[in-house]
Chains A and B, each alone.
Chain A
Amino acid sequence: MASIKIDQVQKAFGKVIAVDHLDLEIKDGEFFTFLGPSGCGKTTTLRMIAGFYYPTKGMIRFGDKDMTRVPPEKRNTGMVFQNYALFPHMTVFENVAFGLRVRKISAKELKTRVQDVLRKVRLEKYSDRQVSQLSGGQQQRVALARALVIEPEILLLDEPLSNLDAKLRDEMRSEILRLKEEYKITTIYVTHDQAEALSMSDRIAVFNFGVCHQVGTPSEIYNEPANDFVASFIGEINLLPVKVERVEQDHVYVSAQFGSESRELVVHNLPYNFNPDAKGDLSISIRPEAIKVFEQQTDGTNILKGKIEKVEFFGSVINLSVNVAGLLLQVNLLNNRSNNLESGADVWVQLPEDQIRVIPVVSGDVSC
């Protein structure tokens, strides 16, 4: 096991800069996820940790050891490839034993260790099968077993579930979590599936265009997104460009543009809601489930009149699209059978002042 320090790393392929200004510290035994849209540099970062690419700038350390230019075979990382990369000419047993044979482990120990790990991934019955005769999920588990059996310091998983169907994906997800508990190994997990990232990780790094936007626990990432990219990439959110009008002791007053009218909104002056150092363009963000809906005009702050455009019924929740002066707000309500909202009806929505957050709009130069 080892911690990983990534220090001001940049990777350029010719003119394309795939990863830039990357600073990360992954703790010993942590389950750490790289999350981001396609092409944002997740695989590139993972491959630099595995040693398949060397950084153009910066340094990578495992614990205190400088690994920046150590060749992949000397890093003792276990990698599970997106397409599994099983050796097609070997059986399941031979595939898993490969890393041990390279390490010249005695035949007896090799056998017990391979059987041990095959039992853990529940493939002990398949050890003599040719890998081409396995299903996708089974191949996946062989790949996991092959990476785990060498007792790597770091386990690297590059979108390991993306080739599987939904049911198998759920199954493998709990399998990976189970193995994580069992091996307590530092793990880096790459995905572009936010639900997967939120449910599995100890911490998440959110990438876009080669830049890391935020690092935090799943609840930090969801509840306190650092900027509009993170906010919109994870879960649903309403974003409105705003200008800060005045800052008082307890409250911040911002003006938001609704179509032609400008409206003043009140936000708590607390670190969760407002960061006085935020510069550049700003936006308010509010999750759809935080917005309150009234069928009659009510008193209070931040109340806006609107018209329901669309009602989507999902059973336990109801999603509304509310048109406020030409702007659509997404609202989620819990179904309590009392609301009979129909499209076309007038409603009053409230954006609670403790739920609104003022966040920066990224122009691409953000780093964590």
Chain B
Amino acid sequence: MLKNRDTRFTILLLIPVLLVLVAYVLYPSIRTFIESLQTERGASLANYLDFFSQESKTNLQALWNSVYISILSVLVSALIGIPLAFIFNRYDFPGRGFFSSAAIMPIVLPSLVGVMAFMFLYGETGLIPNLIKDLFGLEKVPFKIGGVSGILVVHAYTMYVYFYMTVSSAINKIDPSLEEAAYNLGANRFKVFWKVTFPLLTPAIVAASLLVFMISMASFSAPFLLAGGYRVLSLQIYFSKLNGDMEVAATQSVILSIVSIAFLLFMRWYQNRKDYRMATKGIGAHRSEVKNPVMKWIMVLLGIIGVIILLLPHFTILLLSLVPDGTWTWQIYPSVFNFENYRLLLQDPNIFKPLKNSLILAFIATAGNLVFGVLTSYLLVKRKFIGKNFVDILVMIPWALPATVIGMNLIFAFNEPNIFSFGNILVGTFWILPLAYFVRHIPLVVRSTNAVLEQLDDSIEEASRNLGARWFYTFRRVILPIIMPGVLSGTLLAFVESVGEFPTSVLLYTISNRPISIEIMNQLRMFNMGQAAAYGMIQIALIAIVLFISNKVFGVKAEQSLS
């Protein structure tokens, strides 16, 4: 049959998209897999046998540690996030709105900066343990975080938000009349919760658990700074690479990928299942006012304490950034505060360089994300073609893969010339970092664009063509302007995430293009806390500005595309 124009055009758009996905997502993953089969005696599964053999205890131990930490992270995050979601969405008390927006503050903290803040707050020489020690005249600090407890605390702080957000939106979708019906039939509060409310929330809780599990498996910054001798798999990959055991690093990457992708597939399956949540339409939340004055003020007090705990890391970073380096050496508390670190940041070209690098790298990567994301999303949402599911899965792979694995994949793919790098070796050059950031944020931009494109009725595009506009004119004058707000908010988020990106940077940076996160690590090594914190503050400010712009100017809840 004669292929019609539209089909030809779809194919024309599909070619560059597939090319990019195959070259920078699929091919690098395959290269890593091939690398993992390399041994001195040709291709074999020997590396995998080694991984699981009893002699190489460290590998198995690291895998188990990763799983163990991830399970604990899920539990702790759930224990914080679910009750909070209930309290903020079911009860009304003074300050509720403020507390509930403060609850997502951990998102405004890039992971490396957050971990740094926790070290200063609760570590061996941390402000809080020392403050308590001095207040109560204790001999030693009463507690300190480090190792497993450190990682867990950081995970709980950042990851409870995923539970909080998914469960909140599920609570708001529950039709209040369901619970009322149960009360009406004579069930008491306890019964209603366990027999009606909780089962309705199960899908959301399962989804959040899977998500948190995946994110903890991939977590790199927290173990990197806090683990001490404790080994997790994502960190193990980094060490193998440092030691030059490339085949081992490849094997570890493949195993971590398999776990992550298995979770991704399980999650897709779980979410696509027909479930009973859909049976009722979204109905506004039904909040009961807390009438008992004692209860009310207890709630408010707890809210205030919660907000203080949530914001303490941000304040710590702010405070530290005001402490000039060299003025806080042997004292327990800093004593000098000024803007010296910010002045240096702007005036000393050496200190300014990483910031400039990060902005340039992130800009290049995000520009790519914008063009590629809009094109891919348009194809996925508005065009019909065979193999759409395959493209969809390729797009999601960078989301499922831990950042460390993406970094390793790119190393294996581009430490030799090939057609996808136009015959160049990219590792060790400027271009490998923007490429890594680009790959990392493909899913974020595509998904946030999908969300707006799905809202756009097909007949809008048809109306334009009916009026005589060609496809490109229609796309430029009708589709793009309508979807721009959603697209931009996703893209801005990708931009700030790229600015703070640590795990791929640490695998791929070169001295001349070292980004902000690497410089933070260097400054920490040299105990220049103030300078490190000043870099951190810049990132916090950038993220805050982006979320503000998205919410106020574009009217998009950008933080939701993070999960």
Chain A residues in the interface with B (C-beta under 8 A): 50, 52, 54, 69, 71-79, 81-83, 85-89, 98-99, 102-103, 146-147, 150
**Contacts of B466 on A, CB cut-off 8 Å?**
50, 72-73, 75, 77-79, 147
**Contacts of B6 on A, CB cut-off 8 Å?**
71
Q: B463's closest neighbor in chain A, by CB?
A: A85
Within the complex, which residue of B2, B459, B465, B468 is in contact with A83, where a contact is CB–CB below 8 Å?
A: B459
Q: A54-B4, A73-B466, A87-B463 are in contact. List 12 more A-B contacts (CB 8 A).
A: A50-B462, A69-B4, A71-B5, A75-B466, A79-B462, A81-B463, A87-B460, A89-B482, A98-B464, A98-B469, A98-B477, A147-B466
The answer on a CB contact under 8 Å between A85 and B467 is no
The answer on a CB contact under 8 Å between B460 and A85 is yes
**Contacts of A75 on B, CB cut-off 8 Å?**
466
- 27 A-B pairs within 8 Å (CB atoms) are namely A50-B462, A50-B466, A52-B462, A69-B4, A69-B5, A71-B465, A72-B462, A72-B465, A72-B466, A73-B465, A73-B467, A73-B470, A78-B466, A78-B467, A79-B462, A82-B459, A83-B457, A83-B459, A85-B462, A86-B463, A87-B463, A87-B464, A89-B481, A98-B469, A98-B477, A102-B467, A147-B466
B270 interface hit (Cβ, 8 Å): no
Expressed in whole angstroms, the Cα–Cα distance for A72 and B4 within the complex equals 12
B20 interface hit (Cβ, 8 Å): no
The answer on a CB contact under 8 Å between A85 and B457 is yes
For chain B, residues 432 to 467, give those with C-beta under 8 angstroms from any C-beta of chain A.
457, 459-460, 462-467
Within the complex, which residue of B457, B468, B482 is in contact with A73, where a contact is CB–CB below 8 Å?
A: B468
Expressed in whole angstroms, the Cα–Cα distance for A264 and B396 within the complex equals 74
B337 interface hit (Cβ, 8 Å): no
Q: A69's closest neighbor in chain B, by CB?
A: B4
The answer on a CB contact under 8 Å between B467 and A88 is no
Distance (Å) between the CB of A317 and the closest chain B CB? 41
Given contacts A85-B457, A89-B482, A102-B473, whether A146 and B5 have CB atoms under 8 Å apart is no
The answer on a CB contact under 8 Å between A99 and B481 is no
Q: B482's closest neighbor in chain A, by CB?
A: A89
B478 interface hit (Cβ, 8 Å): yes
Expressed in whole angstroms, the Cα–Cα distance for A72 and B462 within the complex equals 8
Q: A146's closest neighbor in chain B, by CB?
A: B467
Q: A87's closest neighbor in chain B, by CB?
A: B478
Within the complex, which residue of B460, B467, B481 is in contact with A150, where a contact is CB–CB below 8 Å?
A: B467
Distance (Å) between the CB of A201 and the closest chain B CB? 22
Distance (Å) between the CB of B105 and the closest chain A CB? 33
Within the complex, which residue of B5, B457, B459, B467 is in contact with A98, where a contact is CB–CB below 8 Å?
A: B467
Expressed in whole angstroms, the Cα–Cα distance for A12 and B6 within the complex equals 17
Q: B6's closest neighbor in chain A, by CB?
A: A71
Q: B461's closest neighbor in chain A, by CB?
A: A85
Within the complex, which residue of B4, B468, B469, B470 is in contact with A76, where a contact is CB–CB below 8 Å?
A: B468
Expressed in whole angstroms, the Cα–Cα distance for A77 and B468 within the complex equals 9
Within the complex, which residue of A52, A71, A99 is in contact with B467, where a contact is CB–CB below 8 Å?
A: A99
Chain B residues in the interface with A (C-beta under 8 A): 2, 4-6, 457, 459-460, 462-470, 473, 477-478, 481-482
**Contacts of B2 on A, CB cut-off 8 Å?**
69
**Contacts of B468 on A, CB cut-off 8 Å?**
73-74, 76, 99, 102-103, 150
Expressed in whole angstroms, the Cα–Cα distance for A99 and B469 within the complex equals 7
Expressed in whole angstroms, the Cα–Cα distance for A150 and B465 within the complex equals 13
Distance (Å) between the CB of B547 and the closest chain A CB? 24
The answer on a CB contact under 8 Å between A73 and B462 is no
**Contacts of A98 on B, CB cut-off 8 Å?**
464, 467, 469, 477
Distance (Å) between the CB of A58 and the closest chain B CB? 14
Within the complex, which residue of A69, A73, A79, A86 is in contact with B469, where a contact is CB–CB below 8 Å?
A: A73
Expressed in whole angstroms, the Cα–Cα distance for A200 and B477 within the complex equals 36
Expressed in whole angstroms, the Cα–Cα distance for A85 and B469 within the complex equals 15
Expressed in whole angstroms, the Cα–Cα distance for A146 and B4 within the complex equals 28
The answer on a CB contact under 8 Å between A88 and B463 is no
**Contacts of B464 on A, CB cut-off 8 Å?**
87, 98
**Contacts of A74 on B, CB cut-off 8 Å?**
468
The answer on a CB contact under 8 Å between A102 and B469 is yes
Distance (Å) between the CB of A14 and the closest chain B CB? 11
Expressed in whole angstroms, the Cα–Cα distance for A74 and B468 within the complex equals 6
Q: A81's closest neighbor in chain B, by CB?
A: B459
Q: B1's closest neighbor in chain A, by CB?
A: A56
The answer on a CB contact under 8 Å between B482 and A79 is no
**Contacts of A102 on B, CB cut-off 8 Å?**
467-469, 473
**Contacts of B470 on A, CB cut-off 8 Å?**
73
Distance (Å) between the CB of B553 and the closest chain A CB? 15
Between B467, B478, B481, the greatest number of chain A beta carbons within 10 A of the residue's beta carbon is seen for: B467
**Contacts of B459 on A, CB cut-off 8 Å?**
81-83, 85
Shortest 10 CB-CB contacts between residues of A and residues of B: A99-B467, A85-B459, A85-B463, A102-B468, A79-B466, A72-B465, A81-B459, A102-B469, A73-B465, A89-B481
Between A81, A83, A147, the greatest number of chain B beta carbons within 10 A of the residue's beta carbon is seen for: A81
Expressed in whole angstroms, the Cα–Cα distance for A150 and B464 within the complex equals 12
Expressed in whole angstroms, the Cα–Cα distance for A279 and B481 within the complex equals 60
Distance (Å) between the CB of B161 and the closest chain A CB? 32
Between A69, A73, A78, A147, the greatest number of chain B beta carbons within 10 A of the residue's beta carbon is seen for: A73
Q: B474's closest neighbor in chain A, by CB?
A: A73
Expressed in whole angstroms, the Cα–Cα distance for A52 and B464 within the complex equals 12
Distance (Å) between the CB of A116 and the closest chain B CB? 17
Distance (Å) between the CB of A65 and the closest chain B CB? 16
Q: A70's closest neighbor in chain B, by CB?
A: B5
Expressed in whole angstroms, the Cα–Cα distance for A50 and B468 within the complex equals 11
Expressed in whole angstroms, the Cα–Cα distance for A190 and B466 within the complex equals 17
**Contacts of A85 on B, CB cut-off 8 Å?**
457, 459-460, 462-463
Expressed in whole angstroms, the Cα–Cα distance for A99 and B468 within the complex equals 6
Expressed in whole angstroms, the Cα–Cα distance for A86 and B461 within the complex equals 10
Distance (Å) between the CB of A337 and the closest chain B CB? 52
Distance (Å) between the CB of A51 and the closest chain B CB? 8
Expressed in whole angstroms, the Cα–Cα distance for A82 and B457 within the complex equals 12
Distance (Å) between the CB of A316 and the closest chain B CB? 42
**Contacts of A52 on B, CB cut-off 8 Å?**
462
Distance (Å) between the CB of A74 and the closest chain B CB? 8
Expressed in whole angstroms, the Cα–Cα distance for A89 and B477 within the complex equals 10
Expressed in whole angstroms, the Cα–Cα distance for A341 and B417 within the complex equals 98
**Contacts of B5 on A, CB cut-off 8 Å?**
69, 71
Q: B481's closest neighbor in chain A, by CB?
A: A89
**Contacts of A150 on B, CB cut-off 8 Å?**
467-468
The answer on a CB contact under 8 Å between B473 and A79 is no
Expressed in whole angstroms, the Cα–Cα distance for A86 and B467 within the complex equals 12
**Contacts of A103 on B, CB cut-off 8 Å?**
468
Expressed in whole angstroms, the Cα–Cα distance for A42 and B295 within the complex equals 63
The answer on a CB contact under 8 Å between B481 and A79 is no
Q: B458's closest neighbor in chain A, by CB?
A: A85
Q: A149's closest neighbor in chain B, by CB?
A: B467
Expressed in whole angstroms, the Cα–Cα distance for A75 and B466 within the complex equals 8
Distance (Å) between the CB of B532 and the closest chain A CB? 44
**Contacts of B463 on A, CB cut-off 8 Å?**
79, 81, 85-87, 146
Q: A74's closest neighbor in chain B, by CB?
A: B468
Expressed in whole angstroms, the Cα–Cα distance for A74 and B471 within the complex equals 12
**Contacts of A73 on B, CB cut-off 8 Å?**
465-470
Distance (Å) between the CB of B469 and the closest chain A CB? 5
Q: B469's closest neighbor in chain A, by CB?
A: A102
**Contacts of A86 on B, CB cut-off 8 Å?**
463
Expressed in whole angstroms, the Cα–Cα distance for A75 and B477 within the complex equals 20
Expressed in whole angstroms, the Cα–Cα distance for A86 and B459 within the complex equals 9
Expressed in whole angstroms, the Cα–Cα distance for A150 and B469 within the complex equals 12
**Contacts of A82 on B, CB cut-off 8 Å?**
459
Distance (Å) between the CB of B424 and the closest chain A CB? 41
**Contacts of B469 on A, CB cut-off 8 Å?**
73, 98-99, 102
